[in-house]
């Protein structure tokens, strides 16, 4: 047997807790349908070709179907076979006249050769059909219904994790996706959005207004008012407030990534600190590195991205620019306000800023007036 999920263009941009509707269906199908699962646009269903025998059984489902259990699929398949494998639709209810409406049809079993009979809307009431309970399957074909389903699913997920020791402050404002997993206890404060395939290890503290997607948070990580995407945060690290950890970043153990720091496609070693107003992009960074306020790894030259390499225990002074590609070897020291264009060897000291010029009593010449002089 095989399955076809009929996709609707109007729903292609709609997600429920960060996950496409059709992905929920696929998960239920994969434990029941052991062969092919196709996704086809509704307008292309009739013209679709399958490299299958015409006698193969096909399960047809709209993208907006919610399956509470694949048990209903097993039961419906038995009814379909018992009825002689004729095209069979399964719906939630009928109207007073006994007619079946399009949005009431949840799925159908047909042979591949009978696919046209299912797709012809005028023949629905002529096909054999069975009613199924809305407790096992339903359609969410409008934005309102999708929102109701999202809320229902969200509450179910949160209740499951609360029972396992996850403490949520203001739980009504916390959003957990279906693929989030906790490996121990955690505290989650209000306004946190955690979804995608995110894993949180023991004793994680997620503060208010965080968004965490497809990431790993190791033991004792603390995050507040920050965004973490497709990244891994090492144990005992502190992220935020107002930090942005972007795709393909690995933060080492015991790091401090603070206010208005952005890290992208980079790795840091143990006990590395970037406490405020810093950009670290396309950088490989060792242990014990200190980034002063306002440091920028200048990774883009207008045409291509370039990498920066920083060794252990390097000190990068405030308001410094590292023009990539560049290597800053271990134990190097860069003075504040420097623009570094040449790589440094181990233990080097570099200062790259113009000399300070002082002109006595010149301040008034440039027109500055104090308030009491106006």
Record the tokens describing residue 77, joined without a space. 């398949």
Does domain 159-363 correspond to CATH entry 2.160.10.10? Answer: yes
In sequence order, what are the beta bridge partners of 57?
111
Q: Rounded to two decimals, what is the model's pTM?
A: 0.87
Spatial separation of the C-alpha atoms in residues 31 and 218, rounded to whole Å = 31
Q: Using an 8 Å Cβ cutoff, are 313 and 297 in contact?
A: no
Alpha-carbon dihedral angle through residues 277, 219, 253, 209, given to the nearest 10 degrees: -10
Q: Using an 8 Å Cβ cutoff, are 189 and 203 in contact?
A: no
pLDDT number for residue 336 = 97
- Cis check for the bond before 241: say yes or no (omega within 30 of 0): yes
Map residue 173 onto helix, strand or coil: helix
In sequence order, what are the beta bridge partners of 297?
322
Q: Would the pLDDT of 72 be above 80?
A: yes
- 91 vs 223, more confident: 223
| Catalytic residue chosen out of the listed positions 91, 129, 244, 276 | 276
- Mean pLDDT computed over 139-164: 93
pLDDT one-digit tens code per residue, 32-63: 887 788 888 876 776 777 777 888 888 988 88
Map residue 353 onto helix, strand or coil: coil
> Within its chain, how far is the Cα of 111 from the centroid?
38
Spatial separation of the C-alpha atoms in residues 145 and 138, rounded to whole Å = 10
What pairing do the DSSP bridges indicate for beta strands 315-316 and 333-334?
parallel
Spatial separation of the C-alpha atoms in residues 295 and 274, rounded to whole Å = 9
Domain boundary assignment for the chain: 2-139, 159-363
370 membership: H or E segment, kind and range: none
Q: State which fold the 2-139 domain adopts.
A: Spore Coat Polysaccharide Biosynthesis Protein SpsA; Chain A (3.90.550)
pLDDT number for residue 88 = 84
Q: Across the chain, what does the average pLDDT equal?
A: 89
- 100 vs 124, more confident: 100
- 165 vs 47, more confident: 165
pLDDT confidence band for 121 (50 / 70 / 90): very low
Rg (CA), the chain: 29
Map residue 245 onto helix, strand or coil: strand
276 is catalytic: yes
pLDDT number for residue 266 = 98
Q: Using an 8 Å Cβ cutoff, are 259 and 242 in contact?
A: yes
337: number of Cβ within 10 Å: 16
- Mean pLDDT computed over 79-99: 78
């Amino acid at each position: 047997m095989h399955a076809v999920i009929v996709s609707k263009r109007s729903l292609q941009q709609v997600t429920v807790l960060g996950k496409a509707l059709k992905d929920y269906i696929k998960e239920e199908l994969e434990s029941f349908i052991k062969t092919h699962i196709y996704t086809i646009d509704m307008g292309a269903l009739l013209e679709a070709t399958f490299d299958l025998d015409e006698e193969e059984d096909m399960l047809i489902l709209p993208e907006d179907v919610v399956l509470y259990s694949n048990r209903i699929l097993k039961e419906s398949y038995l009814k379909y076979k018992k009825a002689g494998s004729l095209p069979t639709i399964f719906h939630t209810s009928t109207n007073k006249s006994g007619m079946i409406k399009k949005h009431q049809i949840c799925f159908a079993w047909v042979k591949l050769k009978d696919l046209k009979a299912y797709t012809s809307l005028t023949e629905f009431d002529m096909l054999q059909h069975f009613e199924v309970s809305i407790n096992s399957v339903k359609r969410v074909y409008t934005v309102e219904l999708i929102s109701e389903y999202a809320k229902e699913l969200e509450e179910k997920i949160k209740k499951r994790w609360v029972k396992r020791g996850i403490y949520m402050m203001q739980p009504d404002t916390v959003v957990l996706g279906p693929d989030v997993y906790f490996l121990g206890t955690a505290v989650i404060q209000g306004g946190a959005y955690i979804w995608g395939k995110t894993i949180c290890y023991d004793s994680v503290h997620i503060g208010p207004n965080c968004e965490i997607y497809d990431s790993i948070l190791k033991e004792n990580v603390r995050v507040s008012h920050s965004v973490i995407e497709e990244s891994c945060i090492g144990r005992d690290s502190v992220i935020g407030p107002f930090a942005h950890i972007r795709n393909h970043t690995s933060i080492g153990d015991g790091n401090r990534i603070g206010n208005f720091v952005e890290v992208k496609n980079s790795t840091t070693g143990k006990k590395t600190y970037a406490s405020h107003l810093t950009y670290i992009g396309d950088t490989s960074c060792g242990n014990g590195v200190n980034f002063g306020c306002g440091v920028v790894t200048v990774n883009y030259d207008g045409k291509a991205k370039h990498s920066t390499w920083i060794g252990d225990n390097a000190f990068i002074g405030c308001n410094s620019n590292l023009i990539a590609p560049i290597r800053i070897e271990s134990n190097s020291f860069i003075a504040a306000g420097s623009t570094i264009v040449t790589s440094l060897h181990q233990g080097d000291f570099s200062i790259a800023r113009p000399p300070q010029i002082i002109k006595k009593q010149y301040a008034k010449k440039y027109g500055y007036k104090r308030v009491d002089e106006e």
